[in-house]
Structure 1
Amino acid sequence: MMSTHPRSGLVPGSILPGYEDRGIAASLAERPLPPHDVFCYPLVETWRDRIWHMLGDFITEEVKAEFVRHPPEFVVSDDLSWLDNLIHDVTGEITDIKMLTADRLREEYRAFRAGHATRTNDLAQFYQNGLKVLNAAEVEDRARSVFLNGQFKHATEERLQNAIDQIKARDPAGGREGRLYFCAREEELFSRAGGAGHYLTYGSEYLYCLGIRVASSRETKKALTGIGSPTMFVCDIPMVMIRSHALEDFAGSILEYLFCELVDELEAHALSPDAGSALSLTENLPGECIVGHYHPATIYDPLRFA
């Protein structure tokens, strides 16, 4: 666990001056609402009525009433056949409601708000150059500067090369090279339920994975936590940058949540503490898409005993 410094209010750690004016509240409740054309997944009250209205030509009041009378056995987000069938039975319309909802989200909203977690000592590189997809070679060079500087007895270039070969970050199946990750629900990046606090605690996951193979786990953690401060960047990702399948996943979760709200006995998995909200980009996010940043006061580190 990490806590705020009693005087500064920030997580301990050196960070270069600059961009202090871009700091924002960590709590959604303490921030201004996002602009009307920005979709914010955890703020249900900002989109509940709007989504119902947006889909009103297919999800009619009669469709909702029939759902309440006879809820399906399984109301899930990944397979919306239960809703496609319901719409057809009530209205006679044939549709792929997940795809339709995703398409209309693109029409209705300019951007999708999400958080990106990292650890840094320099905010300027992000605000000036944006958030960048993983470049394996750059991270490997950083690993050399952090771990092959003579401070770690057993760290060698040979061990680093073996680690690079073992992790295979450039393998498309590995999901690392050329990807930039976010969570629509920021708390997943620092809470126990989210289980992703290692990004804030240690920074680059690839750098951490290289480190524990080149040096020891203890040495790696000490080295990486000595660099900068855990930092969350809140971003408005242009809808045109989000891949179709990712937006369809969110469309399914939105519809699952809305329909479960209609029946007291139903409980949606979507937006529950253990439901994920990750998405990734395959291109860099420009700096002007960063809304602001904050330094989480408390972080659950899932690797603390690793």
Structure 2
Amino acid sequence: MLPGYESREIAASLSERPLPPHDVFSYPLVETWRDRIWRMLGDFITEEVKAEFVRHPPEYVVSDDLSWLDNLINDVTGEITDIKALTADRLREEYRAFRAGHATRTNDLAQFYHNGLKVLNAAEVEDRARSIFLNGQFKYVTEQRLQDAIDEIDARDPAGGREGRLYYCAREEELFSRAGGAGHYLTYGSEYLYCLGIRVASSLETKKVLTGIGSPTMFVCDIPMIMIQSGTLEEFGGSILEYLFCELVDELEAHAFSPGAGSALSLTQNLPAECIVGHYHPATIHDPLRFA
């Protein structure tokens, strides 16, 4: 790692960090938002609504379809609402930013603290693949093989979810834990670069060369709410409400924070450098592609 920005390194453990500012939403820190969300939605989710839920819990309390809650609100208060959309709107009103982690490999922090985090530019990654795999080190790698790999993956296809996207996790541990299953970003860096590599060279060769580049680095970011799509906030709103209501009844268990539940989100814009809170280098990383 090149010297510099040592003062921006933060603790890997949430319990060892200062709490985020009051206007920053941190999904895994339930204690910072539990009461606040109840108050935020109190005009629709009244004490009577909660009491009726406790008396007669729905058969299915799920985050993706909140019709169970819309119906409950209507039965108790007479109000008709789309509580998931309402929650997303109010999260945007209540909080300035959404905290999440972005995982990568680098030996130069300056490029991030100067220029921010950038969405995938497929051409740039392909040129990087050329510099890594077409430098004579790999006997059977050719430009044609690389072009065939580019065509096969088709990163520019809007349905592919690669070009012009930048991915984060609201629960950082998903990016290095076994349960999260996303440790390959810290282990090998760019997923697109890895996918190109294993198509032009062997899996073993690709892993060896990519793990020799940079160090596993997690950037903790406060993403402005205006940059997050409404659908994404609705998904998190559903998970929040599922969790809160399941807390009301001992026999219910929320899926939202269970291992493997997922908390990924993506942006279609570059994240400005001033939105990076800090970074750390995870000491232990589970590689889901270890035996691939």
TM-score bin, normalised by smaller chain: over 0.9
Shift >6 Å, 4+ stretches? none
Aligned match for 2:236, one of 243, 246, 250: 250
The equivalent residue for 2:217 is: 231
User: Cα distance, 1:272 vs. partner?
Assistant: 1.2
1:193-232 superposed matches below 5 A: 193-232=179-218
Match of 1:78 in 2: 64
Percent identical among aligned pairs is: 89
Q: CA deviation at 1:87?
A: 0.2
| Cα distance between partner residues in 1 of 2:13 and 2:129 | 34
Q: Which runs of 5+ in 1 are unaligned?
A: 1-14
Give per-residue Cα distances to partners, 1:115-164, cap 9 Å, x unaligned: 00000111000110000000000000000001100001111101000000
Superposed CA deviations along residues 209-234 of structure 1, whole A, max 9, x for unmatched, are: 00011111111001000011000000
Partner residue in 2 for 1:100: 86
Query: Given residue 130 of structure 1, which amino acid in structure 2 is its aligned partner?
Result: G
| Map 1:38-77 → 2, pairs under 5 A | 38-77=24-63
For residue 145 of structure 1, give the secondary structure of its aligned residue in structure 2.
helix
TM-score, normalising length from structure 1? 0.95
The 3-state SS of whatever aligns with 1:271 is coil
Match of 1:179 among 156, 165, 168: 165
Q: Match for residue 241 of structure 1?
A: 227
The 2-side partners of 1:104 and 1:253 are apart by 15
What is the SS of the residue equivalent to 2:79?
coil
Which of 243, 260, 265 aligns to 2:246? It is: 260
Report how far residue 273 of structure 1 moved: 1.5
**Of residues 108, 112, 119 in structure 2, which corresponds to 1:122?**
108
Offset at residue 274 of structure 1 (A): 1.5
Contact 2:188–2:207 (8 Å) recurs in 1: yes
The whole-number CA distance in structure 2 between the counterparts of 1:303 and 1:57 is 48
Question: What SS class does the counterpart of residue 303 from structure 1 fall into?
Answer: coil
User: Once the 2 structures are TM-superposed, how far is the Cα of residue 271 of structure 1 from its aligned partner?
Assistant: 1.2
Query: Which amino acid counterpart does residue 93 of structure 2 have in structure 1?
Result: E
Please give the alpha-carbon distance, in whole angstroms, between the structure 2 residues aligned to 1:29 and 1:234.
14
Residue 277 of structure 1, CA deviation: 0.2
Deviation (angstroms), 1:193: 0.6
Q: Whole-Å Cα distance in 1 between the matches of residues 113 and 235 of structure 2?
A: 29
Is residue 2:129 matched to residue 1:143? Answer: yes
Give the SS at the match of 1:181.
strand
- 1:126 and 1:147 map into 2 onto residues whose CA distance is 25
Equivalent position of 1:4 in the other structure: none
The aligned counterpart of 2:13 is: 27
- Provide the C-alpha distance between the structure 2 equivalents of 1:252 and 1:193, rounded to a whole number of angstroms: 21
Residue 67 of structure 1, CA deviation: 0.0
1:304 to 2:290 alignment:
yes
Instruction: Report the CA distance between 1:247 and its aligned residue.
Output: 0.4
How far apart in 1 are the matches of 2:53 and 2:144?
62
Q: Distance in 2 between matches of 1:218 and 1:147?
A: 13
* TM-score normalised by length of structure 2: 1.00
Question: Matched residue of 2:101: which SS?
Answer: strand
- Contact (CA 8 Å) 2:174, 2:180: kept in 1 or not? yes
Report the equivalent of 1:192. 178
Q: CA deviation at 1:49?
A: 0.1
SS of residue in 1 equivalent to 2:103: strand
Shift of 1:73: 0.1
Cα separation, 2, equivalents of 1:19 and 1:153:
39
Contact 2:181 2:260 in 1 (8 A): no
Q: Secondary structure at 1:118's aligned position in 2?
A: strand
Counterpart residue identity of residue 160, structure 1: L
Give the number of aligned pairs. 292
Q: CA RMSD in A?
A: 0.4
Deviations 1:256-284 (A, max 9, x none): 00000000000000011220000000000
Separation of aligned partners in 1, 2:107 and 2:122: 20
Match of 2:276 in 1: 290
Matched with 1:8 is none
